[in-house]
Amino acid sequence: MTATTVTPGTDAASPAPALGRPRPLRMLWVTAVWGACFVAIQWGLRDAPVLWFAALRALVAGAALLAVGRSQHRPGPVGVRAWGLIAVLGLVNVTVGFGAMFAAAGGLATGTAAVLANAQPLLILLPAWWLYGEAVSRRTAGALVVGFTGLVLVAVPGGGGRGAALSLLAASAITAGTLLSRRLGSLDVIGASGWHFVIGGAVLAVVAEAVEGAPVIAWTPRFIAVLAFLSLVGSAAAFVAWFTETRRARLDALSAWTFLTPVVGIVLGAVVLSERTSGWTGVGLVAVLVAMGIVLAPGRHRPAPGPTP
């Protein structure tokens, strides 16, 4: 009797699918959009309180995805396990992740917030190995450490304290969300993404009501444009693409792309918001690009271990 590898979301008797590498153009687009989101958040916070702004981003994104799914007659989640997974994903990825990210962005420079909120490449290594058997080579682990060190060199002048702790909380929550999204299995990605935004956003709205009271929002053209970009592009479209890639790509190679997110945030923060950069910026950015090149270069990965009899 031979053992079979069980992949979350697949039949127990099916062999585990081979994991590939992320699609470069898709990931370049996703990381660039997420980098721009940090500048958009800074703009939007001029017109809306932190938690209500984060809740609106999620709720609008979720409503848009559910409308798309309905118009395309996509199947909805079925069963307690499916709904439970989507609810937990919403609480982790949206309620905690978005809430901490927006709160941190209000107290840190754009570059610093973007760097610390995108510590996922380092945080995901051990959980991906433990949960999914994705062993990481020493070369890859070393490159990720070098890359994050480069980002720290860029971001240190932006400050730390409570904002830094919130950014790291956001990074941890988003990492957990990435790990959970692999378990979506055969669920329709648009429907699952939409409901996870709605559930997480609704809970975040309850928290916002308790912490900030009734929302006081200036519905200026600027805020409407920022909210539309964050919700429809930075959340709905980007997370559907991200969750699609988590099903087919190794998580270490996938998360390495998020090194580009703070690079975009730093550049846009300097150009659009006139945030000052230090003399270490160039050194840090070179380290990031070198690290990404090492991680994404074709190479051998150690195979996932077989199941325990």
- Per the CB < 8 A criterion, the answer to whether 83 and 251 are in contact is no
pLDDT tens track, the chain, 309 positions = 433 333 333 333 333 456 777 888 898 899 889 888 888 998 999 999 999 999 999 999 999 999 999 999 999 898 899 999 999 999 999 999 999 888 877 665 555 656 666 667 667 767 777 777 777 777 777 877 777 777 677 656 555 556 667 777 888 888 888 888 888 878 899 999 999 999 999 999 999 999 999 999 999 999 999 999 999 999 999 999 999 998 888 887 787 787 777 777 777 777 776 666 566 666 776 776 777 677 666 654 444 444 444
Task: Report how far residue 168's alpha carbon sits from residue 265's, in angstroms, rounded to the nearest whole number.
Answer: 16
CB-based contact 202:98 (threshold 8 Å) = no
SS3 109: coil
Whole-prediction pTM = 0.78
CA atoms within 13 A on the CB side of 205: 13
155, 285 Cβ separation under 8 angstroms: no
